[in-house]
Amino acid sequence: MSSTWPKGFRAHAANIGVKDDTLDFSVVIGDPGTHCAAVFTQSRFAGCSVLISREHAAPGTARGVVTISKNSNVATGAQGDENARTVLAHVAAKLGVGSPELLIGSTGVIGREYPMDRILAGVDRLDPSTMDASLAQVAKAIMTTDTVHKTSRRSAGNAVIAGVAKGVGMIEPDMATLLTWIFTDADIAPADLDAVFRRVIARTFNSLSIDSDTSTSDSAAIFASGASGPVELGVFETALFDVCLDLTKQIARDGEGATKLLEVRVDGARDDAQAKRVAKAIVNSPLVKTAVHGADPNWGRIAMAVGKVYDDNLGPDTTVIRFGPMEVYPTTLDAADLEQLAAIMRRDHVLVHVSVGDGPGGWTVYGCDLSREYVAINADYTT
C-alpha cells in the first residue's frame, strides 16, 4: 500500500475503456467508521452523479468515492441515473459495503450515457484484496483535459491530510469546484469536519476561476478515518487550508491553455463579500486575462473591472491598483514605469493587488491568463 495515503484508506485505479489507453476509473474506500463532509455544484443542470452523491453524503457516513473520467453522465435523464446507481451497486458489492456508503464523481463530455458494458466489465476486475493504487494514480485517473495530475499532502499533528483534484476548464465554482477528494486519518467530529471544510472551501476552491463557467459536475468531499486519533481543530484547519490552496493553485496554473497563475487580492472593502465580488470581476475579465497573457501593461483594464461592480462606495477616489509591489494607480507612470510593469507581467505568477477603501473586507481569488490555446482546445473538445 502506498505510503502517500493517510491511514485507513486503500485505492484502486484502472483503465476500463472510457478513455482510450489511460487511467479513467478509480475507487477509494475508508475503513469502517470513516465519515465525510461534501459540497456540490448549484448548477440547475447538475449531473446524476452529483444528485446521487448529495443523497449519499447527507448523513455524513459515506466512506468512499468512485470516479469515472471522460464522461460526465449529465443530461442523460432517468437512464443516466439508473446507470450511475448500477455502477455504485456493483462497486459496493465488490467491496462488501452498501451503496449509500459511496459517493460517485463523473467528469467529461455532457449528454452521453455511460458505456455500461465496458464500465461493468472494469468493475468486475476490481479485487478488494489488491487495492494498492497510489495517490498519484488516483489523481491521474480523474483527469480530463488536465496536462498534469494534482496531489497535495500535509501533516496535521499526528495525522495526515492528502488530496487529489482535477479541473482545467469550465471552472467558476458556485459551492466548491471541479472534482476534489480529500482524505485524512485525523479523528474529527462530523460537525467540526463539515464546518471546517466549508470554511476552507470558501477561501480556496470557491475562490478559483478559469473561464467563468460553472460545471454541472462540481463535487468536493473530505473523508476522515480517525485512524491517527484527535487533532487540535485549529491545527487541522490550517493543514487542510494548505492542501486545498496548493491544489487550487495547481488547477489555476494548469488552466486550459494557461501560461500564468493570476492571483487577485482585494482589501479595504466594505465586507468580505464585496471584496470577493471585485476580485472575481477582475479575474474573470477576458480583457484582464488577455493583457496578462501578453504582458501588456494596460493597467486600465483593472480599473474597468473594478468599475463594473456597481456598489455605491466604489470609485476612483478610493482605489489603489498594484501589480505585485508596484503601484500603477493613482500614481502617474512614464515609459520606464510601463516597461517595469510589463516585466512584472511577464512572470509566471502575476499578483494584482487592489485596495478599494479603508474597510475591513478582504478576499483573494485565483485564476489564469487567456490564450489562443484555450480557444483551440474548446473549439475542438468533442471532435
Closest Cα partner for 191 from 233, 239, 244, 243?
A: 233
Give the N- to C-terminal CA distance of the chain in Å, as an integer: 39
**Strands, DSSP E only, in 233-304?**
261-269
Res 1: pLDDT:
38
**Total count of domains within the chain:** 2
What SS3 state is found at 61? Answer: coil
**Strands, DSSP E only, in 167-259?**
179-184, 219-224
What SS3 state is found at 242? Answer: helix
pLDDT band at 4 (very low <50, low <70, confident <90, very high): confident
Is the residue at 2 inside a domain?
A: no
Q: Is the pLDDT of residue 283 over 80?
A: yes
CA distance 5 to 210: 29
Interaxial angle between packed helices 272-283 and 286-294, expressed in degrees from 0 to 180 and rounded to the nearest 10: 60
Contact 182, 221 (CB under 8 A): yes
Same domain, 189 and 73: yes
CA distance 206 to 221: 13
* Positions marked active-site: 177
Q: Measuring CA to CA, how many Å separate 132 from each of 119, 122, 136?
A: 20, 16, 11
Same domain, 112 and 238: yes
User: What's the pTM?
Assistant: 0.94
Res 67: pLDDT:
97
Same domain, 198 and 85: yes
pLDDT tens column, 284-319: 999 999 999 999 999 999 999 999 999 999 999 999
Tell how strand 179-184 and strand 219-224 pair up: parallel
Same domain, 206 and 282: no
> Residues 178, 184, 188, 190: is their CA dihedral positive or negative?
positive
H/E stretch holding 82 reads helix 77-95
pLDDT band at 2 (very low <50, low <70, confident <90, very high): very low
Q: Is the pLDDT of residue 108 over 80?
A: yes
Same domain, 57 and 183: yes
Q: Which residues contact 78 (CB under 8 A, 6 or more apart)?
A: none
Is the residue at 61 inside a domain?
A: yes
Is the residue at 4 inside a domain?
A: no
pLDDT band at 20 (very low <50, low <70, confident <90, very high): confident
Same domain, 361 and 279: yes
pLDDT tens column, 173-195: 887 668 999 999 999 999 999 99
Same domain, 142 and 25: yes
CA distance 64 to 58: 14
CA distance 47 to 80: 9
Same domain, 205 and 339: no
CATH number, domain containing residue 196: 3.60.70.12
Is the residue at 333 inside a domain?
A: yes
Last residue of a domain, one of 252, 284, 314: 252
Is the residue at 3 inside a domain?
A: no
Q: Is the pLDDT of residue 383 over 80?
A: no
Last residue of a domain, one of 185, 218, 252: 252
What SS3 state is found at 103? Answer: strand
Last residue of a domain, one of 202, 223, 252: 252
Tally of residues, the chain:
383
What are 313's three cell numbers?
462606495
Is the residue at 98 inside a domain?
A: yes
pLDDT tens column, 219-275: 999 999 999 999 999 999 999 999 999 999 999 999 999 999 999 999 999 999 999
Same domain, 177 and 277: no
Measured CA angle at 178 (ends 364, 285), to 5 deg: 45
Same domain, 306 and 350: yes
Residue 74 gets the label, from left (phi > 0), alpha (psi -120 to 50) or beta, of beta
Res 3: pLDDT:
52
CA distance 308 to 278: 9
Rounded to the nearest integer, the mean pLDDT of the chain is 95
In the chain, % of residues over pLDDT 70:
98
Same domain, 331 and 233: no
Q: For 348-374, what is the mean pLDDT?
A: 97
pLDDT tens column, 54-90: 999 999 999 999 999 999 999 999 999 999 999 999 9
Same domain, 150 and 247: yes
H/E stretch holding 268 reads strand 261-269
Q: Is the pLDDT of residue 344 over 50?
A: yes
Dihedral, CA of residue 140, residue 144, residue 149 and residue 154, to nearest 10 = -90
Contact 261, 348 (CB under 8 A): yes
The boundaries of the domain holding residue 146 are 9-252
Is the residue at 21 inside a domain?
A: yes
Closest Cα partner for 174 from 213, 229, 145?
A: 213
- Single-letter amino acid, residue 124: D
Is the residue at 218 inside a domain?
A: yes
pLDDT band at 155 (very low <50, low <70, confident <90, very high): very high
CATH number, domain containing residue 286: 3.10.20.340
